[in-house]
């Protein structure tokens, strides 16, 4: 691999070197073996490189075609090109030192003239992926099926009004789960790329949601049948490409999961800019999923508040990664999930070297978030503030409320006796934000 590498201008392994000069291709914070709260950084972060943006991204945007220079890619959708790309991808990931990767079926292998031919292409590439995994030790965090690019999915996949498209989607997901299983994938993701609607006048929402639930149970049955032990994950996103996606946010997904007996079967893969598009912060989505035992994995990126679409930029904001790591550490980590960079270099960063700068920056931003979150947790000032804030529930009437020992009548009696509640105390947001900044 290394002999004919397209990355010979990059070290065989990007070093951890806090003293390296500014802008060097080196980690200043991600020291994979460094132990933080009893676990290595590698195991806390479980970084994954995504195949689609990193190896298939062209740099096209709604106003112009691709700009990326990828000397290894002949620009065709041939199987030969796809097989060749596997070598380059694993060379890249090895040099980066990320332990995982993720893919859609159609990123790694070309779609054929019919389903059988597409499956055959996928098998050929999967065999090579398996070899590359064995050679490098890089593992599959999750696989997924692309049920949105081909025009057949114009009305959706599992929620399409066309039953044949439902059937095609089921067959495609069956194959994608089998390949994920064959490659030892630790999770399987469902992102409902076109599972939503453009116009409610032509949509039978109840029927579409029922079909989606049926689809998920079929997927679960098949996973059980073939012995796939990976975690199923929904990836919430409120819109884009459809104007309303059914998996709008963590709350909508959890409602669907509970309403359709999928609890314990499906958790969530939360993506930063999807949270933003839903009008939430990433921290909100993570916390909401986590408190319900449903935070499975994350797609790490960020949006650009001045652009309206999902720009999927690499995360560089330490405040954001600190917030993420506070929630992730509070729940004891993400495994079997991880931190997948569902992020792309921007159109103007068209050289292969930019792919390294982007990932190194994202990994370091998360490693720094991890260190800061660990420092915050170690001193316990924040958790003490929160605990103190709710202390009225630790004894007396509050404790009775939490323990379910009182109802409206008892509470009325209590308050009639007391006359007025105890005075409120300041929320001290500004002081707390100052404290957080002291750790950055
Ligand atoms: C799209 C998106 C997808 C999923 C996988 O916004 O995030 O790439 O992560 O289908
Ligand atoms: Co994503």
- The pLDDT of residue 308 is 78
pLDDT above 90 (res 6): yes
* Ligand 1 atom showing the smallest separation from residue 299 Cα: 9
Domain coordinates in residue numbering, the chain: 35-379, 382-439
237 in ligand 1 pocket by Cβ < 6 Å?
A: yes
What tens digit of pLDDT does each residue of 175-200 get?
Answer: 999 999 999 999 999 999 999 999 99
| Mean pLDDT computed over 399-407 | 98
235 in ligand 1 pocket by Cβ < 6 Å?
A: yes
pLDDT above 70 (res 435): yes
| Mean pLDDT computed over 277-286 | 98
| Mean pLDDT computed over 234-262 | 98
Higher pLDDT, 306 or 232: 232
What tens digit of pLDDT does each residue of 63-81 get?
Answer: 999 999 999 999 999 999 9
- Ligand of minimum distance to the alpha carbon of 148: 1
- Ligand of minimum distance to the alpha carbon of 190: 1
Centre of ligand 1 from the C-alpha of residue 342, in Å: 7
How many CB atoms sit inside 10 A of residue 343's CB? 25
Centre of ligand 1 from the C-alpha of residue 394, in Å: 43
Range 35-379 has CATH code 3.20.20.150: yes
- Residue 341's DSSP bridge partners are 49
> What angle, 0 to 180 degrees and rounded to 10, lies between the N-to-C axes of helices 115-136 and 163-182?
20
pLDDT above 50 (res 2): no
Q: Is 123 exposed, middle or buried (0-12, 13-18, 19+ CB in 10 A)?
A: middle
Asked if 160 and 106 touch (Cβ cutoff 8 Å), the reply is no
* Ligand 1 atom showing the smallest separation from residue 52 Cα: 8
Asked if 121 and 82 touch (Cβ cutoff 8 Å), the reply is yes
Mean pLDDT of the chain: 97
What tens digit of pLDDT does each residue of 304-321 get?
Answer: 989 878 899 999 999 999
Residues 219/222/227/230 CA torsion (nearest 10 deg): -10
pLDDT above 60 (res 113): yes
195 in ligand 1 pocket by Cβ < 6 Å?
A: no
* Ligand 1 atom showing the smallest separation from residue 237 Cα: 6
pLDDT above 70 (res 398): yes
pLDDT above 70 (res 24): yes
Strand spans (E) along 222-345: 231-234, 244-245, 266-271, 295-299, 339-341
Residue 358 CB contacts under 8 Å (≥ 6 apart), including other chains: 314, 341, 343, 345, 349
| Mean pLDDT computed over 372-382 | 98
Centre of ligand 2 from the C-alpha of residue 388, in Å: 37
Residue nearest atom 3 in ligand 1 by C-alpha distance? 191
Angstrom CA distances, 11 to 2, 3, 23, 244, 347, stand at: 10, 13, 14, 45, 25
- The pLDDT of residue 3 is 58
247 in ligand 1 pocket by Cβ < 6 Å?
A: no
What are residue 296's phi and psi, to 5 degrees? Answer: -100, -35
Angstrom CA distances, 361 to 168, 276, 316, 328, 354, stand at: 40, 21, 7, 20, 10
Centre of ligand 2 from the C-alpha of residue 124, in Å: 25
- Residue 52's DSSP bridge partners are none
- The pLDDT of residue 310 is 83
Instruction: Classify 186 as helix, strand or coil.
Output: coil
What tens digit of pLDDT does each residue of 329-359 get?
Answer: 999 999 999 999 999 999 999 999 999 999 9
Centre of ligand 1 from the C-alpha of residue 146, in Å: 9
Pocket test of ligand 1: the residue of 157, 191, 236, 242 to mutate, having most ligand atoms within 8 Å of its CB, is 191
- Residue 101's DSSP bridge partners are 49, 140
| Mean pLDDT computed over 402-416 | 98
Percent of the chain with pLDDT over 70: 99
CA distance 82 to 90: 13
CA distance 346 to 358: 10
pLDDT above 70 (res 225): yes
* Ligand 1 atom showing the smallest separation from residue 340 Cα: 9
pLDDT above 50 (res 99): yes
Query: Which residues participate in catalysis according to the annotation?
Result: 104, 107
- The pLDDT of residue 1 is 46
Which residues, chain by chain, have CB under 5 Å from ion ligand 2? 271, 299, 342
- Residue 61's DSSP bridge partners are 64
- Ligand of minimum distance to the alpha carbon of 242: 1
């Amino acid at each position: 691999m290394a002999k004919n590498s397209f990355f010979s201008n990059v070290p065989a392994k990007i070093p951890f070197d806090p003293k390296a000069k500014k802008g060097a291709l080196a980690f200043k914070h991600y020291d994979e073996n460094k132990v933080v709260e009893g676990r290595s950084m590698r195991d806390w972060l479980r970084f994954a490189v995504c195949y689609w943006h990193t190896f298939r991204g062209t740099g096209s945007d709604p106003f112009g075609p691709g700009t990326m220079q990828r000397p290894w890619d002949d620009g065709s959708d041939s199987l030969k090109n796809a097989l060749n790309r596997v070598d380059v991808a694993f060379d890249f990931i090895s040099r980066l030192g990320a332990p995982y990767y993720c893919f859609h079926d159609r990123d790694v292998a070309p779609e054929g003239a019919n389903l059988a031919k597409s499956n055959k292409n996928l098998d050929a590439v999967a065999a090579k992926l398996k070899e590359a995994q064995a050679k490098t030790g890089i593992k599959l965090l999750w696989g997924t099926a692309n049920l949105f690019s081909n025009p057949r999915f114009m009305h959706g996949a599992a929620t399409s009004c066309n039953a044949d498209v439902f059937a095609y989607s089921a067959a495609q997901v069956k194959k994608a789960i089998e390949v994920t299983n064959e490659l030892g994938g630790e999770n399987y993701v469902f992102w409902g790329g076109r599972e939503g609607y453009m116009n409610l006048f032509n949509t039978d929402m109840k029927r579409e949601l029922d079909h989606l639930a049926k689809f998920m149970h079929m997927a679960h049955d098949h996973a059980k049948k073939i012995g796939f032990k990976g975690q199923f994950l929904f990836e919430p996103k409120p819109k884009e490409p459809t104007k309303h996606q059914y998996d709008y946010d963590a709350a909508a997904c959890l409602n669907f999961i509970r309403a359709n007996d999928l609890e314990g079967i499906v958790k969530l893969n939360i993506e930063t800019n999807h949270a933003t598009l839903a009008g939430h912060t990433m921290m909100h989505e993570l916390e909401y999923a986590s408190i319900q035992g449903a935070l499975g994995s994350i797609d790490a990126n960020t949006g650009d508040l001045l652009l309206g679409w999902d720009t999927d930029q690499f995360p560089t904001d330490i405040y954001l990664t600190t917030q993420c790591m506070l929630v992730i550490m509070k729940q004891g980590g993400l495994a079997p999930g991880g931190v997948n960079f569902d992020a792309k270099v921007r159109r103007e960063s068209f050289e292969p070297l930019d792919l390294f700068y982007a990932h190194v920056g994202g990994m370091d931003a998360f490693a720094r978030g991890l260190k800061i979150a660990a420092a915050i947790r170690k001193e316990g000032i924040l958790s003490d503030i929160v605990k103190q804030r709710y202390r009225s529930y630790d004894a007396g009437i509050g404790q009775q409320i939490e323990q379910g020992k009182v109802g409206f009548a008892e509470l009325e009696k209590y308050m009639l006796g007391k006359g007025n509640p105890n005075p409120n105390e300041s929320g001290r947001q500004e002081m707390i934000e100052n404290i957080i900044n002291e750790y950055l």
